[in-house]
Structure 1
Amino acid sequence: MSTDNQVKTREDLLYLLSQASELEHSLACQYLFTAFSLKESTDEGVSQAQLNKINRWRRTINGIAVEEMLHLALASNLLTAIGGAPYFRRANFPQAKTYTSLKLSFKLAPFNETTLNRYICFELPNNFDNEEQRGNWTQFCQSIRDEELLRLLAALPQPLLPRKLEYNTIGELYGLIRQGFQTIGQKLFIGPPEAQATGIFPGMIQVKDLDSAIKAIDLIIMQGEGSPAQRDDSHFAKFTKVREEYLAELQNDPNFQPARPVIENPLLSLQQDNTTSGANIITDTLSRDVVSLILNPEATWCQFRIIDDPRTNPGGLFALEDDTEPNRRISLGLVDDVCDGLVTCSVQGLKAIGRIVVGPPDYAPDRRPITSLADGLSDRVSRQSVSELDYVADMNLTTAEVGDLLERVLETMEGMNLDFQNDRIRSENRNIALAQGLSENTAEAKAFPQIEQILGRPLPLTEFGRQRHRRFVSLEIFEDRLRENPELIAQWIREPMIGDRYYDRKMPALMRGSDRYPMHITRRQYDLLVAWANRLRRDAEAGS
């Protein structure tokens, strides 16, 4: 490595880690778009055998995208550890990247050979088993680079940078970052330890010193961005295998089309940073309406009224468009119950508005919620994967995920007055029964029985609940109960989206969702618990 192309200052590292964050963010978006483009049914013109392969490719690509999210979180920890701030900016697609030596286009594209080729070159390793392999792959990646893009990059003005540092692969980028940490050393670590993200993903690392920083960087490198050796579980190897299987199937069936007819880079309108050709404005009326429903704050689904709106209860748990005029007090919420809002900045007559998402709720900032925004996204991206037989094959990772969920349950319920909530639920169940003309006593009995106060225990149900939940944070106790009776999951935990209006004793108990129905965990969380319990039972029966 040239001495002119080495990291020498904290500013160099802050710059490179910010670019790494944007790269990880952009890669995750591109990978998810490709995974979503894949067909999901034999009704879409593929055989069952082909659909099985497509499902496997979707799981692989989704898994890689989730690891890119982990890499973004690790890069954020590296930034905060050295006095920076997490970097979540990302340019709109398609985009020509002027801050990097990577000469590959960043765009949203469906599953096909061209897309897979680009992803393979994104994840190109730094080292190969021999020079012939290196030369072949380098030549391959040079051959797919967009010459028009290269001309555009040359014509664009160079960005203002602390100091231009060159890297041709993501692996080289992390190599520079690693070199910077090793060269500058322990004096880098001036960030507050409490700013470190924890518990978001299995494998999450808190960066507090040089050893933990190198460990975080090496994890990213090992999983795919410039893997130091040929690994079957690296992103490069996974994309290469998907490409090989796809081309083999195409050889057997030239008419094989695993992806839906998806356009590249769909947009409602052009953005100011769309400097690269290739954006496709959505013109179909129905498609525009669907996208607007998801992305447009003017969509009627998110305009909750603060008073007498049956869709949310209690009212006021959302960002308001105008808090001064009662007639305009409607929500601009995007993800109700996860706490979102708008930030407005005005400078000399110019006004900019940005949306923020924060959590857990600000009334309990030290408590992690049972179901977070990340859980909701995972439910949409990888819900189906936990139902596969091989998902719980690695019981260490599965058990760690279950353990994290149980800890969050304890954190949530320890911040609640269960006695008060139980009285409220008993009353609410009676009101539901009255409205339906049913027995009030039967409805009231669905909640927990009232417990008499005892000396020194003014909240007996709350104390009882805490004791029970603390026991099950010890996974050995929970595992023993499930080995004896895997059906306990169905008996103890509320199944998602069953539509029962009554509040009962199933977990999460005594809590209400934004739809006024009893709160539940996500379908992915529930299915994971069921699969984990069944695996425990099978292992017990096999004597393992």
Structure 2
Amino acid sequence: MIQLKRSLAEGLKQPTPQSVIDALQNAVVLEHATIPVYLYGLYSLDPARNPDIVAILRSVVVEEMLHMTLSSNVLNALGGAPVIDTPGFIPTYPGPLPGAVESSLIVHLLPFSQDQLMTYLQIEQPQNPLPIPGDPPPTDDGITIGEFYTAISDAIATLGDGAFVDPPRNQVGPDLMPGAIVVTDVASAQAAIATIIEQGEGSSTSPEEAAQSAEPAHYYRFMQILAGALLASAPGKTPPWSFSGPAVAFDVGGVYPLPNDPKSSDYPPGSAQAFANDNFNYTYTSLLKTLHGLFNGQNTQDQMNNAIALMMSLKGQAKAMMAGIPNPSAPNTGPSFEYQPVNPRH
């Protein structure tokens, strides 16, 4: 598991609105930091040869975006303002995850592999994973993301409803993003945080992300890849689940040959690779700026449509770069996920 600084949780034992806002900004930063890692693995896969793994990774990325939204909603409801459109918001790869992570885990931008899968599992691992037959990674004594969110939830309860801005401000609701929760008070804030915890880790008694959903939480979703089979109900077993559903196959030959931890400086200036990477990073930076606006008052359908259009453009660019479609004779290009506020055409 990734290990967060214990001082983060301890600092919330006597909370102030600002200390909770600061913790939530750390949460937004951390939720985002996993997305490039998962996207690099996702787009490194030939979807025709690894459809099940592609589906699992895609579903996790979508929920990480929801977690960013929910954390931002809670932060805004307490009178804060999420900061997303700065160079420092983007982590440096390879490196530790940001947001006060203290783990020895160094996160890389790597094509999908069994080794990279173990990194995904370490990121998402609960404090006490359910002992479902499989081969989970070793645990450590760290504080998990779920425990960090629990400390935030407890701090919000201490602050009480009086800490929330009235009327509600800058909320991205389910009309704009499915699953989003409009936060107005302690109860709705805790519901938003519970969604994040359950989708990431499951509960102490179930690997499923919520009572109304049969979808496994992120950790167990990734465990399906490691186990080579989907999670299935197993009445009579303790716990009553096993990785005995339909096979989840990994075709090693269905991974594009890509650089590890790419940087803009890796690509020759003026080359097609450099231009493609710069254009990707410009689109990525434009997306962060659009999301910043969305979470800071521009919570309109037009703004959400702009964000979705940029996400689709990023997807198309990344898949073309990584599959070598623009120039089959050139090496495949791995997007570097760096801050690029200037259109490379100019």
> CA, structure 1 residues 126+191, in 2 after alignment: closer, same or farther (shift >3 Å)?
farther
Greater RCO, 1 or 2 (C-alpha within 8 Å, sep 6+): 2
Q: Which residue of 2 aligns with 1:19?
A: 26
Runs of 4+ in 1 over 4 A off after TM superposition: 1-6, 358-361, 380-383
Q: Quick one: which of 149, 174, 189 aligns to 1:174?
A: 149
* Residue 93 (1) aligns with residue 70 (2): no
1:226-265, aligned counterparts within 5 Å?
A: 227-232=203-208, 233-245=216-228, 256-265=252-261
> CA, structure 1 residues 208+115, in 2 after alignment: closer, same or farther (shift >3 Å)?
same
1:457-472, aligned counterparts within 5 Å?
A: none
Whether the 8 Å CA contact 2:42–2:58 is kept in 1: the answer is yes
Q: Deviations over 1:90-133 (max 9, x none)?
A: 32322235722333223211100111111111111234446x99
User: How far 1:192 moved relative to its partner?
Assistant: 4.9
Q: Quick one: which of 259, 267, 285 aligns to 1:282?
A: 267
* Residue 220 (1) aligns with residue 196 (2): yes
Whether the 8 Å CA contact 2:176–2:304 is kept in 1: the answer is no
Q: Deviations over 1:408-427 (max 9, x none)?
A: xxxxxxxxxxxxxxxxxxxx
TM-score (norm 2): 0.67
How many angstroms apart in 2 are the aligned matches of 1:167 and 1:6? 17
> CA, structure 1 residues 293+216, in 2 after alignment: closer, same or farther (shift >3 Å)?
closer
User: How far 1:288 moved relative to its partner?
Assistant: 1.4
* Residue 8 (1) aligns with residue 14 (2): yes
Task: In structure 1, give the amino acid aligned to 2:273.
Answer: S
Q: Which residue of 2 aligns with 1:203?
A: 179
Q: Which residue of 2 aligns with 1:121?
A: 122
Whether the 8 Å CA contact 2:12–2:20 is kept in 1: the answer is no
Task: In structure 2, give the amino acid aligned to 1:282.
Answer: Y
How many angstroms apart in 2 are the aligned matches of 1:36 and 1:205? 30
Q: Deviations over 1:344-396 (max 9, x none)?
A: xxxxxxxxxxx8437999xxx7862397123324545789xxxxxxxxxxxxx
How many angstroms apart in 2 are the aligned matches of 1:257 and 1:118? 21
> CA, structure 1 residues 39+76, in 2 after alignment: closer, same or farther (shift >3 Å)?
same
User: How far 1:140 moved relative to its partner?
Assistant: 1.4
How many angstroms apart in 1 are the aligned matches of 2:299 and 2:199? 31
User: How far 1:4 moved relative to its partner?
Assistant: 4.6
How many angstroms apart in 1 are the aligned matches of 2:38 and 2:115? 13
Whether the 8 Å CA contact 2:124–2:219 is kept in 1: the answer is yes
Whether the 8 Å CA contact 2:38–2:61 is kept in 1: the answer is yes
How many angstroms apart in 2 are the aligned matches of 1:358 and 1:40? 28
How many angstroms apart in 2 are the aligned matches of 1:282 and 1:141? 38
How many angstroms apart in 2 are the aligned matches of 1:360 and 1:6? 28
Task: In structure 2, give the amino acid aligned to 1:73.
Answer: T
Q: Which residue of 2 aligns with 1:391?
A: none
- Ranges in structure 2 where 5+ consecutive residues have no aligned partner: 1-5, 209-215, 230-242, 244-248, 317-346
Whether the 8 Å CA contact 2:130–2:204 is kept in 1: the answer is no
Q: Secondary structure at the match of 1:80?
A: helix
1:336-415, aligned counterparts within 5 Å?
A: 356-357=289-290, 368-369=301-302, 372-377=305-310, 379=312
Whether the 8 Å CA contact 1:25–1:68 is kept in 2: the answer is yes
* Residue 73 (1) aligns with residue 48 (2): no
Whether the 8 Å CA contact 1:28–1:68 is kept in 2: the answer is yes
User: How far 1:58 moved relative to its partner?
Assistant: 0.7
Whether the 8 Å CA contact 1:123–1:226 is kept in 2: the answer is no
How many angstroms apart in 1 are the aligned matches of 2:250 and 2:179? 41
TM-score (norm 1): 0.44
How many angstroms apart in 1 are the aligned matches of 2:311 and 2:198? 23
Q: Secondary structure at the match of 1:117?
A: helix
How many angstroms apart in 1 are the aligned matches of 2:12 and 2:299? 40
Q: Which residue of 2 aligns with 1:62?
A: 58
How many angstroms apart in 2 are the aligned matches of 1:366 and 1:6? 29
Q: Secondary structure at the match of 2:309?
A: helix
> CA, structure 1 residues 262+34, in 2 after alignment: closer, same or farther (shift >3 Å)?
same
Q: Deviations over 1:124-161 (max 9, x none)?
A: 1234446x99xx85x7145xxxxxxxxxxxxxxxxxxx
Task: In structure 2, give the amino acid aligned to 1:372.
Answer: N
> CA, structure 1 residues 208+245, in 2 after alignment: closer, same or farther (shift >3 Å)?
same
> CA, structure 1 residues 63+100, in 2 after alignment: closer, same or farther (shift >3 Å)?
same
Q: Which residue of 2 aligns with 1:108?
A: 109
User: How far 1:267 moved relative to its partner?
Assistant: 1.1
1:302-317, aligned counterparts within 5 Å?
A: none
The sequence identity of aligned pairs, in percent, is 26
Whether the 8 Å CA contact 1:13–1:180 is kept in 2: the answer is yes
How many angstroms apart in 2 are the aligned matches of 1:40 and 1:358? 28
How many angstroms apart in 2 are the aligned matches of 1:367 and 1:254? 40
Q: Which structure has the larger Rg?
A: 1
User: How far 1:254 moved relative to its partner?
Assistant: 11
Q: Secondary structure at the match of 1:195?
A: coil
How many angstroms apart in 2 are the aligned matches of 1:214 and 1:366? 22
* Residue 295 (1) aligns with residue 295 (2): no
Task: In structure 1, give the amino acid aligned to 2:281.
Answer: L
Task: In structure 2, give the amino acid aligned to 1:197.
Answer: V
Whether the 8 Å CA contact 1:205–1:212 is kept in 2: the answer is yes
Whether the 8 Å CA contact 2:82–2:292 is kept in 1: the answer is no
Task: In structure 2, give the amino acid aligned to 1:194.
Answer: R
Q: Secondary structure at the match of 1:266?
A: coil
Q: Secondary structure at the match of 1:59?
A: helix
> CA, structure 1 residues 191+125, in 2 after alignment: closer, same or farther (shift >3 Å)?
farther
- Ranges in structure 1 where 5+ consecutive residues have no aligned partner: 42-50, 143-165, 270-280, 297-333, 342-354, 384-544
Task: In structure 1, give the amino acid aligned to 2:267.
Answer: I
> CA, structure 1 residues 187+254, in 2 after alignment: closer, same or farther (shift >3 Å)?
closer
User: How far 1:60 moved relative to its partner?
Assistant: 1.2
> CA, structure 1 residues 106+116, in 2 after alignment: closer, same or farther (shift >3 Å)?
same
User: How far 1:203 moved relative to its partner?
Assistant: 0.9
